[in-house]
Amino acid sequence: MKKILLTKEIINDVLKELGDYEVDIWDESKDGYLTKDKLKSIIAPYSGIISMLSNPLNEEVLKEAKNLEIIAQYAVGYNNIDVNYCKQNNITITNTPDVLSHATAELAFALLLNIARNISTSAQETKEGAWKGWEPKGYLGTSLKNLKLGVIGPGRIGTEFTKMCQGAFNHEVFYYSRSIKEDFEQCFQAQRLELNELMKSCDIISLHCPLTNETKNLLNKDNLHLLKKNAILINTARGEVIDQDDLVDILCRRNDLKVGLDVTTPEPLDTDHELFKLKNVIITPHIGSATTTARTEMGNIVCKSVKDHFLGRTPKFKISHENH
């Protein structure tokens, strides 16, 4: 009977859904955090792995995975997996796109509203008794009506996010992408700009691109300083898309900027990190896909991907190695 490793417990009843196979669920509370070395030492017998972004499936680990046929990644991104090694060794990779697009876009939208209107800061001060009474000049925020929105990476999530922004606040939409996105342009009367131009022109910049060699440190000291006065920057993509040290540098000099991050480098950040000391920054714990709906659907997909593969069918969300 083929063996499957699930690296963290998920909402779905995986033992039932994958009842035809032998499923091991890594139990962190009993066996501790699944480090690279632990993963290396246990991976050999498994034909399938249901993996998380936090599992380092690099060459060093995969060399031990003598029986591995499929990695069903419980996420849309898979920058934790050595795709080239998998290609050479005939290991199928699948992911969970689409089903988390709305949830992640919603999270970006929630961060935007939160930071624009000082929700978390003001709520925390209220809770702690630091708020003494209503003040005409207290906790002044930015209205989001009719602003200019700049989307970096107008894919599925970027499109959902733009729908929310334009639907609620009538934003004028600009985007940055390697290629022209005709559907996006038509849907939102959006205009494509060079990155520097986008940074200079928009009141809101939101990142929705995957992490690749091209997008690593895409935002850095050469372009972060171009941000408009009072601009809002949102990152729900990957921490590494922003050079985090450069971000800290600019934020220490410009307290007009507001930043909402669902992703950082690393995750979690040390509690004494500079970003936690800034009032104009909010950081959530990588909860882009954290709705009951999205996580249930992600669970359905990983189970179906593994089953399809073992039954000789091509999983619907198989990663095409041609893109790499």
Query: Which sign does the torsion angle of CA 317, 64, 26, 265 carry?
Result: negative
Q: Which stretch binds its own copies (CB under 8 A): 65-73, 139-147, 184-192, 210-218?
A: 139-147
Q: Which of 291, 300, 318, 321 binds its own copies (CB under 8 A)?
A: 291
Q: Is 192 a known active-site residue? A: no
Return the bridge partners of 191, or none. 174
Q: Is 171 a known active-site residue? A: no
Residue 136 backbone class (left: φ over 0; alpha: ψ -120 to 50; beta: rest): alpha
**20 exposure class (CB count in 10 Å sphere: 0-12, 13-18, 19+):** exposed
Least separation, in Å, of the C-beta of 306 and its own copies? 16
Least separation, in Å, of the C-beta of 194 and its own copies? 29
> Can you tell me the distance from the alpha carbon of 210 to that of 208, in angstroms, rounded to the nearest whole number?
7
Residue 167 touching its own copies (CB under 8 A): yes
Q: Is 297:275 a contact under the CB 8 Å cutoff?
A: no
Residue 102 touching its own copies (CB under 8 A): yes
Residue 16 touching its own copies (CB under 8 A): no
**178 exposure class (CB count in 10 Å sphere: 0-12, 13-18, 19+):** exposed
Least separation, in Å, of the C-beta of 90 and its own copies? 28
Which of the residues 34 through 93 are near its own copies (CB under 8 A)?
Answer: 52-54, 74
Residue 171 touching its own copies (CB under 8 A): no
Residue 291 backbone class (left: φ over 0; alpha: ψ -120 to 50; beta: rest): beta
Which of the residues 179 through 198 are near its own copies (CB under 8 A)?
Answer: none
Q: Which stretch binds its own copies (CB under 8 A): 160-168, 216-224, 231-239, 308-316?
A: 160-168
273 CB contacts (<8 Å, ≥6 apart)? none
- 103 or 227: CB nearest its own copies: 103
- 170 or 314: CB nearest its own copies: 170
Q: Which stretch binds its own copies (CB under 8 A): 86-94, 142-150, 174-182, 309-317?
A: 142-150
Nearest to 140 by CA among 229, 205, 230: 230
Which of the residues 217 through 276 are near its own copies (CB under 8 A)?
Answer: 267-269, 271, 276
Return the bridge partners of 258, or none. 232
For its own copies (CB under 8 A), the number of binding residues is 72
Q: Which stretch binds its own copies (CB under 8 A): 157-165, 196-204, 205-213, 303-311?
A: 157-165
Q: Is 204:189 a contact under the CB 8 Å cutoff?
A: no
Written as one letter, the residue type at 104 is: T
Q: Is 286 a known active-site residue? A: yes
Least separation, in Å, of the C-beta of 6 and its own copies? 9
Residue 275 token pair: 């970003």
Catalytic annotation, residues: 238, 267, 286
